């Protein structure tokens, strides 16, 4: 049985990232809204654009707490945010669906998302991703670290100083590897499976603009922030 030791730096890094992740939850819990009422496709589209807009704001605040992020080149910070915002939103959505809920609530939530106005072709890949995240039974720290690793992806478009981002990401990867051994001692491949989900996440995120454009509503109105970040309109 491998004894897991965390350095003082790693303990500090874990606390900072977990606290930031907890603090920057999405203000109004979309799952509560979706469980309360069945909305029209128009209302759902509006809800999605509101959620996605607030999620970008939350993401910006979260990244400010990632040690070293603010020391990166300013334009690289923007490139990392722009490159990870959609993935972070799908990760957050997956975690929302897989949260422990009273009996029957998850089924209602799934049904409402199926009927929300999203076009059929995207339902399957999206729910496949949500299920594959759910099967991992990630603890909160792993969710926070996985989101951080997604943000600190060096090969995003327009990143100039990739090695600087790699150095930050490596620290978080080291920490996540140890957390996986600590929380899933029976599954030596757990860390690799976790990172494999990031590939699935990137593939799903390629469709986001199409998913929005094909939403069953007459006019697709976006906020200025979403136009910036989500490559829509
Ligand atoms: C949960 C969150 C947090 C932060 C930001 C965004 C969101 N996401 C949303 O608000 C939308 C809602 C929106 C309202 C209609 C139903 C889906 N949403 C999506 C989604 C579907 C398709 C696309 Cl293109 C994007 C997202 N998957 C979800 C899974 C969930 F379990 C859930 F509760 C909400 C989910």
C-alpha of residue 121 to centroid of ligand 1, in Å: 16
Specify the residue with its C-alpha closest to ligand 1, atom 15.
44
Whether 194 contacts 136, CB under 8 Å: yes
> Measured from the CB, is residue 109 less than 6 Å from ligand 1?
yes
Query: Following DSSP, what letter does each residue of 189-231 receive, concatenated?
Result: THHHHHHHHHHHHHHHHHTHHHHHHTSSSS-----HHHHHHS-
Comparing 230 with 64, which gets the higher pLDDT? 64
DSSP string across 123-134: HHHHHHHHHHHH
Angle 223-96-209 from CA coordinates, rounded to 5°: 35
Q: Answer yes or no: is pLDDT of 97 > 80.
A: yes
Residue to substitute in 96, 119, 226, 231 for testing ligand 1 pocket (most ligand atoms within 8 angstroms of CB): 96
Q: How far is CA 149 from the centre of its chain?
A: 10
The per-residue pLDDT for 184 is 96
CB atoms within 10 A of CB 85: 23
Specify the ligand 1 atom closest to the Cα of 117: 15
191 neighbors 149 (Cβ within 8 angstroms): no
Residue pair 153/80 in contact by the 8 Å Cβ criterion: yes
In degrees, rounded to 5, the angle at the alpha carbon of residue 99 between the alpha carbons of residues 210 and 118 is 20
Q: Where are the alpha helices (DSSP H) in the chain?
A: 8-23, 30-36, 41-64, 74-97, 105-114, 120-134, 140-151, 162-183, 190-206, 208-213, 224-229
30 lines ligand 1 (CB under 6 A): yes
Q: What percent of the chain has pLDDT over 70?
A: 98
pTM for this structure? 0.95
**Does the pLDDT of residue 27 top 80, yes or no?**
no
pLDDT, tens digit (0-9, with 9 covering 90-100), for 38-71? 999 999 999 999 999 999 999 999 999 999 999 9
What DSSP character marks residue 138? Answer: -
- Closest listed residue to residue 116, CA positions, set 227, 33, 27, 4: 33
Is the pLDDT reported for residue 207 higher than 80?
yes
Residues in Cβ contact with 44 at an 8 Å cutoff, skipping those fewer than 6 apart: 116, 117
CA distance 36 to 196: 34
Tell which atom from ligand 1 comes closest to the C-alpha of 110.
Answer: 31
Q: Which residue has the tokens 């399957």?
A: 124
Give the pLDDT confidence score for residue 104 in this predicted structure: 94
**9 CB-near residues (< 8 Å, 6+ apart):** 171
| Separation in Å, CA 104 to CA 35, 38, 130 | 10, 15, 17
- Mean pLDDT (whole number) for 214-218: 93
Model pLDDT, residue 2: 67
Question: Which carries the bigger pLDDT value, residue 122 or residue 100?
Answer: 122
| Between 205 and 30, the higher pLDDT residue | 205
């Amino acid at each position: 049985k491998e004894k897991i030791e965390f350095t003082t730096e790693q303990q500090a890094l874990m606390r900072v990232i977990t606290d930031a992740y907890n603090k920057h939850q999405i203000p109004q819990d979309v799952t509560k809204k979706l469980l309360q009422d069945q909305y029209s496709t128009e209302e759902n589209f509006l809800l999605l654009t509101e959620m996605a807009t607030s999620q970008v704001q939350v993401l910006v605040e979260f990244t400010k707490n990632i040690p070293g992020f603010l020391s990166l080149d300013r334009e690289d910070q923007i490139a990392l945010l722009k490159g990870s915002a959609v993935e972070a939103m799908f990760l957050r959505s997956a975690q929302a669906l897989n949260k422990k809920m009273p009996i029957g609530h998850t089924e209602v939530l799934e049904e409402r998302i199926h009927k929300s106005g999203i076009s059929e072709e995207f339902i399957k890949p999206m729910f496949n991703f949500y299920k594959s995240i759910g099967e991992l039974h990630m603890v909160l720290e792993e969710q926070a670290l996985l989101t951080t690793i997604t943000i600190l992806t060096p090969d995003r478009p327009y990143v100039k100083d990739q090695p600087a981002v790699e150095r930050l990401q490596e620290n978080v990867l080291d920490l996540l590897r140890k957390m996986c051994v600590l929380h899933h001692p029976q599954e030596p491949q757990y860390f690799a499976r976790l990172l494999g989900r990031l590939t699935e996440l990137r593939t799903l995120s390629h469709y986001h603009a199409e998913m929005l454009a094909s939403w069953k509503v007459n006019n697709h109105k976006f906020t200025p922030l979403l136009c910036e970040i989500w490559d829509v309109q």
